[in-house]
Chain A
Amino acid sequence: MNDMTADAGDRVTRIALVGAPNCGKTSLFNALTGANQRVGNYSGVTVERKIGMATTPGGASLRITDLPGTYSLRARSPDEAVTRDVILGTRVDAEPFDLLMVVVDATQMRPGLRLARELADVGLPLLVVVNMIDIARHRGIDIDLDRIASELGQPVVASTAVRRAGMGALWGRIDGLIAAGLPARQPTRWAAPSAHQLRQALREADRVIAAAVTLPEHRRSFSEKVDAVVLNPFAGPVILLVLMFLMFQAVFAGAAPLMDGLSALVDAVSGAVSAALPEGLLRGLIVDGAIAGVGSVIVFLPQILILFAFILILEDLGYMARAAFLMDRIMGHAGLHGRAFIPLLSSFACAIPGIMSARVIDDERDRLMTILIAPLMTCSARIPVYTLLIGAFVPARSIGFGIGLQGLVMFALFAAGVVSALLVAFASRLLFRRREIAAPLMLDLPDYKVPQLRGVVLGLWQRARAFLRRAGTIIFYASLVVWVLSTFPYAPADATEPAINYSFAAMIGHLLAPILSPIGFTWQICVALVPGMAAREVAVAGLSTVYAVSGGDGALGTALAAQWPLATGVSLIVWYIFAPQCLSTIAVIRRETASRRWMWVSVGYMFALAYVFSFLAYHLVSALTG
């Protein structure tokens, strides 16, 4: 964070953007700062810290902080307490502001105007920005800005964040305020409002709206017409299913060429490095350790980006809140919040962004539950393992209607992930949360909006960067450790078996073998599971090393089918449904729950489930195949 404070000279005006959820605050932030943004965290908490720099037409430097959307400064969760402290200037790691910009949705001014009333007590100068004014005008909503300004006693300006021309008045007003000299911060008079005070403030906002805003005669808006279909009890779930199907189709089929390209690139890089370096330890470390390890994870970038493109677009569109509405009842039975839908959906690409997006759930216990079950969703790293094992053990024949048995098993494995996640949540509700009453669900269903390309691209860029940074750090180091474990000590000169069989990894494998043999695992599987802790798909590479098979998945599958009984193959597939074979996920759970205890709980319950179900599967299949 040092570089963030270093350039804060005296002439930089520090602005905080505050507003109710869905008021268009983020698109205003993007319009003000362009791509000049930095995303980080406040120390010790999971609140996103988004800062952007901008220069006004008048030449003033701005440093704008985008704060999470909130209805009130009243902290309802630890995360909202951070927002409150940042605005009140009581947090040490956040610099104070010179100006608060309150964003109000022109089509729906009540929450924003109420919030503006409350923020007037903070002691900072205020600028009320009535955003999305174009949509309001288009709908025939007439807003008397001067009247609002005189009623509130604060400067008011209109803007349309999605159009360059819509920003002129706002830029002009910011320049005007800075030129006139922003008044210094007054001591704050803000205190958490009581229900009575909130009621008064909302009445006051309603009075201002009645005086300054003329609404057209009510006719069914576009959003209402769309919702008549999208939220229809029959059509709604069908549309949701179709959207999810299209999304998975895009993630798994659409990403394939890109992933092939990326793995070709990784191969090319490792080929070039192999050619450039002499045979030896250094080459092994770089090629087999670093490049192979990081490369095996980087190939999942296209899938993650496609999934997030869908999620960002649906979110921008306003559909995600509808999905949460449709799914709430089903999630509620499992003791989950309707909002848990988005984190769990993200977990299909990778549990890490899924766990991080659980921040949208304000109730601490519901959020924890979501984090604990997110790793059970079938993430894309399981796919290489599933593909290998299905190819080896499930015959490639049709069961009629053009449905292949292998594809059906793959689908069943995905379903097993979802069902087990919901069952775990349900069981823990029955076991530990029996007396608990559900946290309230109050979710704004915003009007539909055309997604902004800039916002989606920026969002994707920020996620890609976070993912690559992780690949460059945690996964990089894990790969090196795994390489060391599977390389040293060297095999004796007269070795007859693959070199890895003499390494530390093999020793660990032999150590684990007695524990895992009841579920049908050979010691070679145990050896492969050790590097597989770095990331699930690494186990595939591990298996090919132990069995000394080269020539791709096909050859490895044939070798495995020849070496293992069917029961072992099934048992390993079942193991991968549950087992927390991913160090980075475990690390993220530790960070997001801020607790070692919950990290161990999640690791423990997933290994326990994996062991129990693999045991059952192994013995059942053994008995059946006699």
Chain B
Amino acid sequence: MELRQLEAIDRSVSLGEARKGYRGRVVCILPIAGTGRLAPEEMERRLIEMGFIEGVEVSVIHEGPFGRDPIAVRVGQATVAMRRRDAMAILTD
């Protein structure tokens, strides 16, 4: 990884921690092994299929009624509901 990329990851906010109203741009899709049932590569593919790639604008538009989980994320023209645990893999700034 290039140094510039590493710096960007360092500054980034995980979408899993973002509150309602947060807006950002995806820096990196980085699922970590052991944090989900799926292998990181598979998790990454699923997130891409839902529209999350580097550079795309995202915003958190709703939070679930219980424990603020799951969240509804606007990505492009779509809205995706996801659990915070799964959204941790999406790093934004």
Min CB–CB distance A233 → chain B (angstroms): 4
* Residues B65 and A234 in contact, CB atoms below 8 Å apart: yes
B24 in the interface (beta carbon within 8 A)? no
Given the known inter-chain contacts A231-B72, A442-B82, please indicate yes or no for A437 contacting B37, CB distance below 8 A: yes
A465 in the interface (beta carbon within 8 A)? no
User: How many Å lie between the Cα of A140 and that of B69 in the bound state?
Assistant: 33
* Residues B78 and A443 in contact, CB atoms below 8 Å apart: no
Binary contact readout A168-209 vs B (1 if CB under 8 angstroms, 0 otherwise): 000000000000000000000000011100110011001000
User: How many Å lie between the Cα of A237 and that of B54 in the bound state?
Assistant: 34
B2 in the interface (beta carbon within 8 A)? no
Binary contact readout B16-40 vs A (1 if CB under 8 angstroms, 0 otherwise): 0000000000000100000111100
User: How many Å lie between the Cα of A231 and that of B49 in the bound state?
Assistant: 24
Residues of B within 8 A of A441 (CB): 70, 81-83, 86
Given the known inter-chain contacts A234-B65, A439-B37, please indicate yes or no for A325 contacting B81, CB distance below 8 A: yes
A580 in the interface (beta carbon within 8 A)? no
Given the known inter-chain contacts A444-B78, A444-B80, please indicate yes or no for A199 contacting B53, CB distance below 8 A: yes
* Residues B72 and A195 in contact, CB atoms below 8 Å apart: no
User: How many Å lie between the Cα of A193 and that of B48 in the bound state?
Assistant: 11
Cβ-neighbour of B61 out of A71, A107, A203, A224 (below 8 A) = A224
- In B29-82, which residues have CB < 8 Å from any A CB? 29, 35-38, 41-51, 53-54, 56, 61-70, 72, 76-82
Cβ-neighbour of B62 out of A108, A231, A439, A440 (below 8 A) = A231
Residues of B within 8 A of A206 (CB): 53, 56
Tell which of A237, A363, A445 has the most Cβ of chain B within 10 Å: A445
Binary contact readout A434-464 vs B (1 if CB under 8 angstroms, 0 otherwise): 0011111111110000000000000000000
User: How many Å lie between the Cα of A325 and that of B36 in the bound state?
Assistant: 19
Min CB–CB distance A18 → chain B (angstroms): 14
Residues of B within 8 A of A329 (CB): 64-67, 69-70
A74 in the interface (beta carbon within 8 A)? yes
Residues of A within 8 A of B86 (CB): 440-442
Cβ-neighbour of B37 out of A76, A195, A202, A436 (below 8 A) = A436
A332 in the interface (beta carbon within 8 A)? yes
Number of interface residues of B (CB under 8 A): 40
Number of interface residues of A (CB under 8 A): 47
Given the known inter-chain contacts A195-B45, A445-B79, please indicate yes or no for A325 contacting B72, CB distance below 8 A: yes
| Residue of chain B at shortest CB distance from A234 | B65
B11 in the interface (beta carbon within 8 A)? no
Cβ-neighbour of A195 out of B44, B50, B66, B67 (below 8 A) = B44
A236 in the interface (beta carbon within 8 A)? yes
* Residues A328 and B35 in contact, CB atoms below 8 Å apart: no
Binary contact readout A213-239 vs B (1 if CB under 8 angstroms, 0 otherwise): 001000000011001000101101100
**Partner-A contacts on B (CB < 8 A):** 29, 35-38, 41-51, 53-54, 56, 61-70, 72, 76-83, 85-86
9 shortest A-B CB distances, which residue pairs?
Answer: A71-B49, A329-B66, A445-B79, A233-B65, A108-B77, A443-B81, A440-B86, A231-B62, A325-B81
26 sample A-B contacts, Cβ–Cβ < 8 Å, listed by A number: A72-B45, A72-B49, A74-B45, A76-B42, A110-B76, A110-B77, A195-B41, A195-B48, A198-B49, A206-B53, A227-B62, A231-B62, A231-B72, A234-B65, A324-B81, A325-B64, A325-B72, A326-B64, A329-B65, A329-B67, A363-B37, A438-B37, A440-B46, A441-B82, A442-B50, A442-B81
**Partner-B contacts on A (CB < 8 A):** 71-72, 74, 76, 107-111, 114, 193-195, 198-199, 202-203, 206, 215, 223-224, 227, 231, 233-234, 236-237, 321, 324-326, 328-330, 332, 338, 363, 436-445
